[in-house]
Amino acid sequence: MTQGRQPLTIMDGNPPTCDFSTKTKRGIYLSKSLAFVILVIFGLALVATAFLVYNFAACPRTDQLANVTKYELTHCEQPKLLVIPLTADNKTVVTETTTAFVETTTEEIQTVSDVRLPLNVKPDTYNLKLTPYIFEGNFTFDGEISIVVTVKNETKQITFHGVDLIYHSIKVLKKENGKEIRILSRTEDVPRQFQILLLEEPLVAGKQYYLNISYTGILNDNLHGFYRSSYEEKRVKRWIAVTQFQATDARRAFPCWDEPALKARFTISIARPINMTSVSNMNIIATQKHESLKGYMWDHYAESLPMSTYLVAFAVTDFGNMSDNNFSVWARKEALPSAAYALDIGPKILKFLEEYYKIEFPLPKIDMMALPDFKAGAMENWGLLTFREIAMLYDEGVSPTTAKARVASVVAHEIAHQWFGNLVTPAWWSDIWLNEGFASYVEYVAVDAVEKTWKLMEVFVLNEVQSVFKLDALTTSHQISVEVGNPEEIGAIFDKISYGKGSAILRMMNHFLTDSVFNAGITAYLNARKFCEAEQSDLWGALTNAARERKAFDADVGVVMDSWTLQTGFPVLTITRDYKTGIIHFKQERFALVNITTEDQKSPVWWIPVSYTTASEKDFESTRPKLWLRGERAITVKNISVSEDDWFIANIQQTGFYRVNYDRHNWKLLVNILNDKNRFQEIHPINRAQIIDDAMNLALAGHLDYRTALDITSYLQHERSYVPWKAGLVALGYIDIMLSKGAYYLEYKNYVLRLVSGAVEEVGWQVSPGESVVRAQYRADLLAAACHLQHQHCLEHAVRLYTNWMISPNPDAYNEIHADIRSTVYCVGLQTGGAREWAFAWQRFAAASAPAERELLLSVLGCTRAPHLLYRYLELSLRNDSGIRKQDTVRVFSAVSGSAIGEPIAFNFVRANWRRLKEYVGSVSTLNSIVKVVTRRLNQAHEYEELQRFVSQSGGALGRPLLQVLERTAANVAWTQNNYQLIIDWLLQADRTTPQIADF
């Protein structure tokens, strides 16, 4: 390993050759047996098909568009899938420069599992020219692409990806002499999204060829591929065209080999109106007038480094920009000042990560662009990072303090990807955690280094460990490294497992290997696989070598970590002490919300690093493991020194991705120390958060008596640190949801109000200048909890602030409510008010231009308790003219279903409008998210039966996420049946024995 910075010096040379020989060979499967039946079925559709083709053909082509008015374009239908009329022999002649016979499969699209391209041909370079028509009535684009391919094995077929593209000309030419090879047919394999060319003569192994294609595509409004977006500026609607290709949507913008391992160099040219600008991955090297389109210019970009198709990006906008040397930010001109913070922190994070990875950023520039419509939070396209506006723009005084941390974290996440994902890319989506897990971990490391006062690493356990446990405790969870095939399966693994669990196990490795070993291994891995593809075994090998060189770890990292990435779920480590002999037993089993019937010998085991401390040591800084369970189901340890009356705590700072259970006496010792207000701080705040979260979830799953878990929560009345409080609020929040529709909810409210009273009084409503991000989040969560539980003073104060805002002469220009407490104030104002208060908030949403304020108002509009307003809000979310963007549909459904009143309204609305909802959102992942949020409160047997009926009738295509919804709901039902009365009894006892408190 070479120490120090290692600049990449191959910008003008050739990158290392990537070896594809180890990739699993996969076949091509074409179905022709139904050809005759298909011919008969579709014979009657010939006239309609011909009409559609004629109607599209009537749309002006590139050379005609310059002088065509907007009105003349409005009759043109947007093309859908390529439809080619069939002749008697099931073929049609396409009269082009090259005569080709084109055959298309027309059977119904079906789910397929094997979607890998054959390995006979590999792309080397793409030369792409695109002309988007960004005005209403057309929304198409013309493309010309020339792909240089290398033949790996002799073949008479070329197979590539293409979706929703109309092909005008396809040619295959020998690179050595330009001789054209005749194409016999083109077949479209619709389920696999393949275009298959059958050639008259075979392509020779080792030779290169040109594949030249001209085509037309759609600037869709589904937020994927090459899509259109709009915004209003001074009441004028403005259109832009942007891209989002991850994971499998580059094929909607240009014909390509759309798999992450098939990297190539890209030379891109974009035609754009003269009053707009374009941006792409690389820097512009030339600009010239369009040869045929009046008022259009060509922007020609430098050739890229080898990269995957999903990282290609371009945008045509009328945005403004600001720059700091080679770092630029782009946004709507009206919103551009709000990008100042992103421009300030972006270069700092880039510099830190260059030093962290010990590899310089290899591109000549970075652009970051805030987009009005963007489905994901952000995207790491190489050299052109794209964001939702809320994830990149920060308005001092309008955005809450926590929004600043959000911008910093998202910027850091996407810049981290420039190495982990872009420089080195997973060979297949199965290992997407190598991208997302690492970026999710490094974002905390980077922001913690750049914004030292925030101490964001403290909240890692909350966001990336404890939150992921909830999903990974389901039997329908999945491995970190999991086989996926079709685009729906690929999209489904962009979840908390790939992001949160991936980041959590990287943090665990960092702690058991140490910083120096971990970072050295990462740098070696990146250098070894730069500009190529990688699998997780490559990472394990680099880390193992780094550890052995430094004699820091005696095991194979791959053996250890495969137990975490190739198995579903995580363990609970049960620690049982023999208080007379001092012997301690450690036993592992998979933690699950429902009982797993798998036989013991077949249940999974992990390599578990065990760090620990005792009451006499109180060493919460030594996080390296003191012992291991090396894939063993149980071990017995005799040499741990701990007295009979000392508590014992394992998993220091929760660096290991597992829960910890103890014997009854050790739990009693922990209850006692935590409830001693003079001594509870002897335990590290992260471990206090761990103890609460573990205890409450162990009780939820039946591993621990709920009385013990609830006894632990009672210590929160004297807790004043954010991380333990947040863990407590989340854990108690589940009980809140389960009891919210029952007769004894009042007892629960009284209990939690007694816990929260002192903390809320201490933090108060007044926001001090320069408060930390953690302090701001602490106040926001505590006030939200108090007002949610209807504490009288909290409600009165919030109502007063909201009313004063409503009666101010100019509420859009003047709002005295501090941004850090607006969420609570707005929600209470709508909860306690009626149609007038709701209409006021809706008007503010319509008038607001700041992304933070718009997002906040969208969230709180669901706080009203008026059913007709909740139905109205859901209805508005499915209307294009409402001002609610398609990207925010899930937010609306989540807001409405966030209360006991709104949840059945939202669930009923989804069931009644399912077909309409599917057509509107156009995304399986969005549908899954909506179903998830509207069912999270279901906990009665009849509700589960209704959900099952809905799933059987409508949810067949939603896959694993819907199975997770069913399992979670079944667990809610079982919890209610098993624990409801026990918890009510405990709350009633606590209500009788605890003194009442005055309003704060």
Residue from 446, 440, 129, 377 nearest 269 by CA? 129
Q: CB neighbours of 61 closer than 8 A, spacing ≥ 6? A: 142
Q: Which of 214, 260, 194, 197 is closest to 435 using CA atoms?
A: 260
For CA atoms 614, 616, 619, 623, the dihedral sign is negative
Could you give phi then psi for residue 726, rounded to 5 degrees?
-65, -45
On whether the CB atoms of residues 611 and 573 are closer than 8 A, the answer is: no
Per the annotation, the verdict on 414 as an active-site residue is yes
Beta-bridge partners for 385: 368
283, 768, 790, 797, 829 from 800: Cα distances, Å: 53, 21, 15, 5, 9
Is residue 276 within 8 A of residue 321, CB to CB? The reply is no
- The whole-angstrom separation of Cα 733 and Cα 785 is 9
Burial (Cβ within 10 Å: 0-12, 13-18, ≥19) of residue 994: middle
Tokens 């997002």 belong to residue = 855
The alpha-carbon radius of gyration of the chain (Å, integer) is 30
Q: 441 Cβ partners below 8 Å, 6+ apart?
A: 464, 502, 503, 504, 506, 507
d(CA 441, CA 507) in angstroms, rounded, equals 7
Tally of CB atoms within 10 A around 883? 16
How far is residue 246's CA from residue 379's CA, in Å, rounded to a whole number? Answer: 8
| The pair of three-digit structure tokens given for residue 287, joined into one six-digit string | 């600009």
Given phi > 0 = left and psi -120 to 50 = alpha, else beta, which region is 835?
Answer: alpha
Say whether 217 sits in a helix, a strand or coil. Answer: strand
What is the CA 295 to chain-centroid distance, rounded?
39
Neighbours of 67 (CB within 10 A): 10
Distance CA 753, CA 788 (A): 10
Give the three-state DSSP class for 256: strand
Q: Return the beta strands (E) in 220-307 as ranges.
A: 225-233, 236-244, 265-273, 277-280, 284-289, 296-301
DSSP symbol at 812 = T
Cα–Cα distances (Å) from 192 to 159, 427, 454, 488, 585, in that order, read 11, 19, 47, 12, 52
Query: Do the beta carbons of residue 102 and residue 185 sit within 8 Å?
Result: yes
What is residue 824's three-state secondary structure?
A: helix
Nearest Cα to Cα of residue 446 among 351, 338, 526: 351
Tokens found for residue 198: 């059958």
Residue 604: other Cβ atoms inside 10 A? 17
Catalytic residue among 144, 389, 414, 436: 414
The pairs formed by 198-205 with CB atoms below 8 angstroms and a separation of 24 or more are 198/156, 198/157, 199/156, 199/157, 199/158, 199/172, 200/156, 201/156, 202/154, 202/155, 202/156, 203/120, 203/121, 203/151, 203/154, 203/155, 203/156, 203/158, 204/151, 204/154, 205/151, 205/152, 205/153, 205/154
Strand partners, 661: 574
Which of 370, 387, 224, 419 lies closest to 310 in space, CA to CA? 224
Cα–Cα dist 179/173, whole Å: 5
**Pairing assessment for the beta strands 100-102 and 183-189 based on DSSP bridges:** unpaired
Q: Which residues pair with 378 in a beta bridge?
A: 387
Beta bridge partners of 384: 367
Catalytic positions, written as ranges: 414
